[in-house]
Structure formats: C-alpha cells, structure tokens
Structure 1
C-alpha cells in the first residue's frame, strides 16, 4: 500500500490525465471516445471514497478540465486588459474555480454512500444529476455553456438524436453509458449491467437511424459570401487605422459579385454605427444584395451601447445581442468586480443587453435567426415559432480576443450542435476565424482558416420545417430528469423502511 500522501499525489496525477482525456474529445482534437474514458476513470476514482474526499476530487477534476479547456480566458484579460499578469491570473483562477465548484455536487452524491440506491435507477440518477449541473452552469449568473459533454459528440453516433432532444440529452446518454460501463467493470452483477448497457446502446443506435424532421418544398437556393478580414484587436481599436479598416472591408466585398447575401463578422468597424456610414452603401451599390454586419450602436434615448447585427436589404433591421460575455462585455456583481475590471480596461466592456423578446429577422425570401458570438451556445435564443419561409442561422463572431488557442475551434463545434438541433444551415463569419458554412447535418462544408484573411462563397438550400427540438426545446429532458429523480427518491425511501 502507498502512504496516504503519496496515494493522494498519484490520485491527482490521475485526475489531470482524466481532464486531458475529457478535453481531447472536443475540437480541434475530436477523439470522441476519450470523454467516455475520462468519465469512467472519474467514477472509478470517487466511487469508494468518503463523501468529503469525493467532493474534493470532484472539484479538482472540474478545475483541471477548465484549466486545460478554457484557460484562453486569460489571453483576453491579459493581452487586451493592460498586460496586468496578476489581475488577469486572479480573475481566470476565480472564474475556473467557480465552474469547477459545480462538480462538487457530483462528489457529494456519488461516493461510497450511493449504494443505497437500487441498481436499476443508479445510473440514470447520476446521469440526471450531471445533466442538471450542466443546465445550471449554463444559466446561473449569466451562464457558461462551454465543454458540455454532449457538445463533444457532434458527428459521432447521435446526430439525428440532437434534433430530437438536444445537447443536454446527449450529455445524459453519454454519462449514463459511461457509468454503466464503469459498473460492469466494478460490480459483481456484470451480466445485469451488461444487459443494461446493451439495451440503451442499441436503442440509441436504432433511434439515430430515424429522421425526426422533414424538409418542405419551400426550400430556396441562396448564394452567400462570408468575409473574414482578419484584423487583430490591437490594430482594430487604434483610431488611426479606422479608414484603412474601412478600405479593407470595401475591397473584400468585390469577391461577392454573384452573391445574394454578404456577411461580415461581429463589430467589424470599431466605431458606433451611423446610418450615414457610406462604407456599407458603397458595397450595396454594386448590385441588389443583402448585407449583414456586426456593429456597435448607441441608443440616443438611453445612451446605452449595444453589440448588434445590422441587416441591410430593401429595409434595414438591427438585432441587439442578448447574451453578453461576462467580464468581456459587461461586469457581473458590479460592487465586487468593477474596481478590478476598471484596472484591466478592456475595450467596449460596458455594453447593454438587447431586448429579450427580439428574435428572427424576416426578409422577402427567407428568415434569419441572428446570433452574435457567445449567443451561439444558447439554443433557446433561436425562435421556436412556426415560420412559413425558409430559415438560416447567422452567427457573427470575434474570437480574436483569445489568440491562438482552443477557443475558436470549440466555438465552431458549438455552432455544429445548433445546426443539428434545428436542421438548419449555419453561416458563421468570424473576424480572425474560423468562418464557416455548416450544413444542416452539422458538417463543415467550407472554412476560412484561423488567422487568415479571406472569403468563402457557397450556394446552398435554405431549409424550412421544424425539428422536435426546435418545437419543444429542453422540456422533454427536464421532464425525464424530474421523473428519474422522483423515482430515485421513492426507491431510496422504500429501501429504508
């Protein structure tokens, strides 16, 4: 036997390996199966531990998952917040610790005491708890729906199931399969758990062969150009470069002569939008087109500043971003964090949220579902209305804040989940990349690679029709979780009698 301290060191090294395996399942690595190995190893580590130790190990597991997966937050805080290493490190540490703290609840429940639950309900109970934690983490205090288990499984064995129940359900299935496999290895009732595993796995495979939506005959072909100017923030927010940036934007539009739709990324011109701005008018004067661009705009009545999407066609429409990035676009808990945020001095970090009721932009021939950057991680922001016209999801982004990191690849993968859930094409324009056309099956058709200036042109069929997920959202998985939790509590009380 190892001494206690040495055993703890080995356990922590094992946890770090598990955290690496967890992250390897996400883009750009896309080793889909490694998240199963990570979860199985995690359950193995805490299953026979006392509650306190299981909670500690769970926190450490979550901490290293996010330290590896989202440490790019430090890049934006440091590079564009005044090069303050100590403050940037402190805020990154606090943020990652808050995310990791959600894992403590798993350790509180899943430890040596969990054997009181009947074996038939135990896997579903733990998977439900995990999914609840993902939902809470995605929504509490603004939310951070990054590195969800379900997101890692894009283009694996669940693609059609995304359109049925969404990403949280895929998280649920992935966790339940992982924990049953762990129980096959660990418990004596191996045949029982093997049957349990095979029944769920085969049901998943069968369900994935079905199609839960149909395309209507109103689909329309659309020619689109997506522009990636590749302008770094340090250059972009230097006012001396404004005219040069406008020239770049105008000149790049010349590659889109045959397009119906031209898309520029988030806040492409680093100044407040003025409807007398002639850059967009010059582009549109070439032919009859629709132009989409990210802008900053100021409401003259309230003096609030918004991160917005401008759509210019026969008429002009503006959509204001509803989900802002914590610390990047607004400061949560102002009394606590504003003194720190003011020292970092990040550009345009005092923005306001848009109207929560705003949603789709209706044009003559099709409908745009607008999402700006961080919003692409929130499927509930996409309208669930029954609309008679073909629909497309447009995502404007600016991942340049995060430098050469995992963030742009992870962000692109999140957009793939939206394409699958809603059976819609996604047109993604990102300032420094990765710009892409994603088809309704979650496949990336064309890209402009990271940190490259370029454009892409694509002709595709804009889809009509609704998926079950676009109609019902996350309600089915919430009902399922509620039923499992009630059943688990009932069976637990029954055993105690």
Structure 2
C-alpha cells in the first residue's frame, strides 16, 4: 500500500469513527482473547483490525491516537479489576477507585500508542515489511511495559495463545514475547495484504477473490502454527522420584483476613487443613498465617511442625517474616528438613510498598491496605530444597513476570506459586493469573504448583496443561502426584534477548526505509 493510498483512505474516515473502532477492537481483544473466555484466535482478528486502521492513518498523530484508543479499551476491559482492591479492601471511595483504575489503564495505553505511532511513521509499503515493523514495535513496547517502573506484564499478547499451542515450541524456544510477535505479525500481514488486494481489485469478482485469498492465508497460517505448537517439549527430563503434594486453599475472605478477632480462627483453619493433608509436601497460600512469623504463638508453630513430622512431610507456609525492623513477604519451609525461607523479590507497587509518596499523597490519603510496607528480598537467595526437589518459588504476581521465574532456572525442578487473588474479588484476575502460570510452565519445561487462598489452586504440567484444579471460592485440599524435571529450555538459557534483537531489527528496518524515502523526496 502506498502512502498516498493510505492517506486518502484515512482522510475519508471520520476521526471519531476510527478511534471508536480501535477502542471496540481493543476491548473485544482483551475480553474475548484472554482468560476466562480464552478465544485464542480472536487476538489475530483484533490486531488485524488495529493494523488495518493504522495502515490507513494519514498522520503519525492519528496512528498514536488509534493505538491509545485500542490500548485504553484493551486494558480497561482486561485489568480494571485493580479497582476492587482499592475500593473493597483499601477503603477508597468507589468513584475515586474507578478514576485511579482509569488513570492506570491510560498510562498502560501509552505503550500501544508509541508502537502504533512508529508503525504509522514508517509507512512500510510491502505487507510483509508492514507486518514485521508492526509486530516489532508492539512487542518492543510490551517489553518496555514489562520492565519500566517495576513493570506490568499482564495481558501480554503471547499469553492468549496458551490454550491451543501448549506445549508450544515457540514459547519454549523464545518465550511469550515471541508468541505475541507471531500473533501481531499475522494480524498485520492479513490487514496489509487484504487492503492491498482490495485496492488493486477491479470489480466484485476480484474483490471477493481478494477476501477469500486473505482468509485462506489466515487459515493456513493458523494450521501451520497449530501443527508447529504440537511438537512437544524435548528439552527437559525427569528429576528425582514422584512426590505427593497437597495444595491448601483456605478460602479466607479478604475482608476478614487481617481482622485481629479472626486471627485465631484462621490459625485453626490451617491447622485442620494441614492435619487432613496426605502429601509429603504440603503448600499453604501467600500470607496464610496473617501475622509476622515472630508474632505467631510458638506453640502453634511447633504443633504444625509436629503434624508434618508425623506424616514424614514438609510444609511450605506463606507468612510474613520480620528482621531488624523490616518485614518480608515470605514462604517458609519446615518439617522433616531444616527450616528454609524464600523472601519475595518483586513487590507490588501500591500494594506491598508505596512509591512516590509525595506526588501521590492524594492517592494514599484515600487508601488503607494492610501489610503494605514490605522490603524486597535478595534476588540471589538460595533455593528451597525439600523432598529431593529444588523449588522455584514465586509469590503473588511474581509468576506474571517471566524474568522472575527464570531467576530460579535451571536449578529449580518444580515451580511453586503461592498467592492470594482474593484482593481482586470475583473478577477475571484469578483466571488470567492461572493463564500466566501456564505460560511460565511452558517456557521453563517445569510443572507448576499453585496454592491460592481463594483460588485458583491448581497443578500445571510441564507442557502448560492444567491437570487438576480446585473450584475458586471454596475451601479444599488438592492432592496430586507430580514429577520434577531438570534441564534447560532454550528460553530459560537465552531469555528475551533473541526476540529483542528481532524487534530491534524490525524497528531499524522500518526507520531506515522511512528515512531513505524521506531523503529521496527531499
């Protein structure tokens, strides 16, 4: 498509119509493409629609606005559940909580705006180059979103592909950003090739043929990816013996979790569940014991250890720990083996620590979240070793970040996540969190064990399949047998470097083409 063709078509479309179309595509992509709906094929259509709009955008400013509209609706539809923790559990007035969630989503939408502005500026004429540049710019922007300001990796495009492509060679080789790159490149190519064919078609017959050609290309690509994704994971092997695990889901309501009068009731609940558990490794959720370990009655801890000894088992307990006046969100193991701990490294801003206290004084004045002043743990902590396995532990949303899980590789033979998604109520957050955990299992070739206060407690195999799960918002014990794995997938060795180099190449090619055309017309 030539720049003149794109400009003329773009000028013929009212700005409001194109922006609303982009927003509609963004909202549907997040809502239908990710868990809990999980129509994995829908992101291809959603990003094809966005690519078609920005390919016709007459100016870079219009491209940026289209990206922002798509991104704002995408994040509002996908992660506006952040307002639940602020309103229902943080005491913030509902309207202010929604306003804060809107600002958060608007900030996240700046990344798509940047990517779409660049894709519009380059004006790549070939459908292949347009798809390459579009996918490179968006994926690079996603990488920035995952890292800048501590990062937010939720709704990364590649994670939407967990269902049909698990086990996915693409994710095992190059990670979830590469999975997203494939989706974006396919959507961009379909949009650009379809538009070019329609622009060159004369008459209804050729126009229908162009539509069918674009559809055939799309279906063919999906079939290829489906076959490619089913080739399996051959990079890891079994480690140690099968072990019996018990994952506890206490279902303690967030509204009562930190109430002093409910403290004893919570301790009694987990004592009962530990007594009923049958596994040799018993895992409790994040902050299952809702007070620093030093303030838990010593006789209670000894009782739990006694129960573990009677079962020849080990416990992994989510509990805060205190040291030299600092508090850490931790997982503590105890039982037949020595006491060990993991302290959470990647803390949640505004939930576990409070950044920018000066500029955001208005925000903190309306927010009261218990245990929101944690200290980050050392990234170089020794792993917890129990039952002949080495545990790659993540707490809460750490497993949403590939880099946090890769930090435990290749030593870890089992991935373990303890969490408390009750903070976000009965929203899509819990299903989305499970989907992220599935991607981490695929990328590392390791089983993932998840113990979550209100759900979703689950066992995920090394291919990303959920083999067992408890219903959310129920009290229960998930009993399972799991096999640890050793070895290193290419992604666990290389990380995001290969896909970053691909994206930088795409951005560089796009910029070079644009500058070359600019110098030729000067």
TM-score (norm 2): 0.87
Between 351-360 and 59-68, the greater mean CA deviation after superposition: 351-360
What are the ranges of 5 or more consecutive residues in structure 1 without an aligned counterpart?
Answer: none
CA distance in 2, matches of 1:416, 1:31: 16
- Give the structure 1 partner of residue 62 of structure 2: 53
Contact 1:425–1:440 (8 Å) recurs in 2: yes
- Give the structure 2 partner of residue 454 of structure 1: 476
SS in 2 for 1:358: coil
CA distance in 2, matches of 1:403, 1:385: 30
CA distance in 2, matches of 1:83, 1:441: 41
- Give the structure 2 partner of residue 316 of structure 1: 339
Offset, 1:436: 0.4
SS in 2 for 1:328: coil
SS in 1 for 2:318: strand
The reply to whether residue 489 of structure 1 matches residue 496 of structure 2 is no
CA 1:5–1:339: 2 relative to 1, 3 Å: farther
CA 1:121–1:195: 2 relative to 1, 3 Å: farther
Offset, 1:280: 2.7
The reply to whether residue 31 of structure 1 matches residue 54 of structure 2 is no
The reply to whether residue 146 of structure 1 matches residue 154 of structure 2 is yes
Contact 1:359–1:383 (8 Å) recurs in 2: no
- Give the structure 1 partner of residue 139 of structure 2: 131
Offset, 1:297: 1.1
Offset, 1:140: 0.7
The reply to whether residue 254 of structure 1 matches residue 275 of structure 2 is yes
CA distance in 2, matches of 1:202, 1:403: 38
- Give the structure 1 partner of residue 501 of structure 2: 479
CA distance in 1, matches of 2:343, 2:170: 31
Offset, 1:194: 9.1
- Give the structure 2 partner of residue 468 of structure 1: 490
CA distance in 2, matches of 1:217, 1:396: 23
Q: What whole-Å deviation, never above 9, does each CA across 1:154-206 have from its counterpart, x for those lacking one? A: 02236222111100000111100110011121013779989997997676456
Between 72-81 and 185-194, the greater mean CA deviation after superposition: 185-194
The reply to whether residue 353 of structure 1 matches residue 362 of structure 2 is no
- Give the structure 2 partner of residue 175 of structure 1: 184
CA distance in 2, matches of 1:285, 1:338: 49
Between 478-487 and 344-353, the greater mean CA deviation after superposition: 478-487
Q: Give the RMSD, CA atoms, in angstroms.
A: 2.7
- Give the structure 1 partner of residue 110 of structure 2: 101
- Give the structure 1 partner of residue 29 of structure 2: 22
Offset, 1:133: 0.5
SS in 1 for 2:469: strand
CA distance in 2, matches of 1:361, 1:131: 34
CA distance in 1, matches of 2:404, 2:302: 31
CA distance in 2, matches of 1:22, 1:359: 40
TM-score (norm 1): 0.91
The reply to whether residue 334 of structure 1 matches residue 354 of structure 2 is no
Offset, 1:316: 0.9
Q: What whole-Å deviation, never above 9, does each CA across 1:21-55 have from its counterpart, x for those lacking one? A: 21211111011111111111112222222222222
- Give the structure 1 partner of residue 246 of structure 2: 225
- Give the structure 1 partner of residue 444 of structure 2: 422
CA 1:374–1:470: 2 relative to 1, 3 Å: same
Equivalent position to 2:84, from 61, 75, 92: 75
Which structure has greater helix proportion? 2
Equivalent position to 1:273, from 280, 293, 308: 293
Between 230-239 and 194-203, the greater mean CA deviation after superposition: 194-203
Offset, 1:266: 0.2
CA 1:294–1:144: 2 relative to 1, 3 Å: same
CA distance in 1, matches of 2:285, 2:381: 20
Offset, 1:364: 5.3
SS in 1 for 2:450: strand
What are the ranges of 5 or more consecutive residues in structure 2 without an aligned counterpart?
Answer: 1-10, 201-209
Contact 2:305–2:334 (8 Å) recurs in 1: no
CA 1:22–1:134: 2 relative to 1, 3 Å: same
